[in-house]
Every structure is written in C-alpha cells, then in structure tokens.
C-alpha cells in the first residue's frame, strides 16, 4: 500500500491566516467607526447651524412685527395687533418653549408647550436682555450655548444676536 499524503493546512498556516484576517477585520471596523464619527460630526454641525439660523429668523421676524415687547432673562414675549410670540427657556428640557398665535387681539402664552429645537439639539444656556431705545422700542440681545448630540459625535456653539424692535409712535 502506498503512503497516502495527508491533505489540509498545518497549524502554522491556520494561525497565520487567522492573524491576517484579524488585522484586516480590526482595520475595517476602525474605518467604519471613523466614517460614522465623521458623518455624525458633519451632521451635528449642520443641524446646529441650521437650528440657529431658523431661531434667529423667527426671533428677528417677531421683533420686527411686534408692537409690544416684554421679558428678559430667560424669556421674551412679543405681540402685534393679531400675532403673539412666546420664547421661554426651559432649563429642565434644555430647550426653548415656543408659541406663535395668530388671532386678532391675541394674548401671549406665558407657558408655551412646543419645543423650538428638535430632540438632538439642546440649549445649554440662554439669556435675553432688553435695552430700551429712546425713540421707542427695544434692542433685544440674545446669547447662549447650543449643542447637538448624535451617537458618534457632538457639536457645541456659543451664539449671540441683536435684534431691533422699533415701535412707530403714529
């Protein structure tokens, strides 16, 4: 009987193959998590900047249209003849509670229930200062810190803005 050759891999070949496969796997997983992190960093930055843009536009529009302005500190109430706006900082939910009521003779809502910012965006601090203008109206100074948190990254940005409300005395 002839000596039959054994077919298969040696232990050394198996260990080498597993080592190469492990190195490739670790590198691949690292690249996947890096791409998730980069994606979330870009998305968090974009969401934060867009949220601030929309907030600034809303507050600017309310300030331009308002006939009465009150508040300061963590809230501001604005109203015109047929539209009322409320912006109230809620430190528990870390959001701005907001209402925009369109109705003749409306009254501002001191306890609005709608969150201005979506769930992943939080307001870390918020402050409003009303400075009277001699001719009538106010300069509304807003400042704070906004943060968007996603699973693999977050982005935080300090913000400030100044809006002028001029009341026509006629």
What is the model's pLDDT at position 2? 53
> Given pLDDT bands bounded at 50, 70 and 90, which one contains residue 5?
low
Number of Cβ atoms within 10 Å of the Cβ of 82:
12
Distances (CA, A) of 52 to 59, 87, 157: 10, 14, 10
Counts of helices then strands in the chain (DSSP H, E): 1, 8
pTM: 0.81
Tens digits of per-residue pLDDT, 87-143?
999 999 999 999 999 999 899 999 999 999 988 999 999 999 999 998 888 999 999
């Amino acid at each position: 009987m002839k000596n039959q050759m054994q077919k298969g891999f040696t232990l050394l070949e198996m260990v080498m193959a597993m080592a190469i496969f492990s190195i490739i796997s670790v590198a691949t997983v690292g690249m996947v998590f890096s791409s998730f992190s980069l994606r979330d960093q870009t998305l968090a930055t974009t969401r934060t900047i867009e949220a601030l843009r929309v907030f600034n536009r809303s507050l600017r529009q309310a300030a331009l249209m308002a006939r009465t302005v009150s508040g300061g500190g963590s809230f501001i109430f604005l109203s015109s003849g047929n539209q009322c706006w409320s912006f109230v900082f809620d430190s528990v939910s870390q959001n701005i509670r907001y209402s925009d009521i369109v109705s003749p003779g409306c009254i501002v809502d001191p306890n609005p229930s709608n969150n201005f910012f979506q769930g992943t965006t939080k307001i870390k601090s918020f402050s409003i200062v009303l400075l009277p203008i001699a001719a009538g109206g106010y300069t509304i100074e807003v400042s704070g810190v906004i943060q968007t948190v996603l699973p693999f990254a977050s982005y935080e940005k300090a913000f400030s803005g100044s809006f002028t409300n001029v009341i026509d005395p006629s």
